[in-house]
Amino acid sequence: MTVTIYHNPACGTSRNTLEIIRHAGIEPIVIEYLKTPPSKPELAKMIADAGLSVRQAIREKGTPYEDLGLANPALSDDQLLDAMIATPILINRPLVVTEIGTRLCRPSDLVLDILPSDGFTSAFVKEDGEAVLDAEGNRIV
């Protein structure tokens, strides 16, 4: 299975998502989107495929969101996408694309929805100690 993660190594949620993918035995294509942002059409497709609005895909915390006036409801999706491409830190992360689907993996365990269910056979615990999978690889709800 091909898995692509738009990753920020400085983000704990992104690191946890990457490790869950690897725990499934999959080595994903890792795109550090701050260095190599997606094109505007690629970003628009990922957002739509994830079932999100463009506003839901914008990261506000720790970004110049307010300074750029992006809270203005009069801004179009096209204008917001332009801002996200020009300033990639505005792209919420991590976005993960698989053959099963596309998700904004916040929280990181949402990646389980788009990975093969039979790929897990052991426990997984996030960096902060939160258990995601039990000893048999079953999702902990």
- Whether 105 sits among the annotated catalytic residues: the reply is no
127 alpha carbon, distance to own chain's centre:
17
Supply the CATH number for residue 35's domain.
Answer: 3.40.30.10
Tokens linked to 98: 């698989």
Residue 57 in domain = yes
Residue 138 in domain = no
> Residue 119 above 90 pLDDT?
no
3-state SS assignment for residue 60: coil
Phi, psi at 88, each rounded to 5°: -60, -20
CA distances from 38 to 6, 71, 88, 125, 134 (A): 9, 22, 9, 30, 35
Residue 44 in domain = yes
Question: What is d(CA 72, CA 34) in angstroms, rounded to the nearest whole number?
Answer: 24
Residue 42 in domain = yes
* Residue 27 confidence (pLDDT): 97
| 77-113: pLDDT as tens digits | 999 999 999 999 999 999 999 999 999 999 999 999 9
The number of domains in the chain is 1
Residue 140 in domain = no
The reply to whether omega before 9 is within 30° of 0 (cis) is: no
Q: Which candidate in 3, 5, 11, 57 is catalytic?
A: 11
Question: What is d(CA 68, CA 55) in angstroms, rounded to the nearest whole number?
Answer: 14
* Residue 118 confidence (pLDDT): 86
Q: Cβ of 96: how many Cβ atoms within 10 Å?
A: 29
Residues of the domain holding 103:
3-133
> Residue 117 above 90 pLDDT?
no
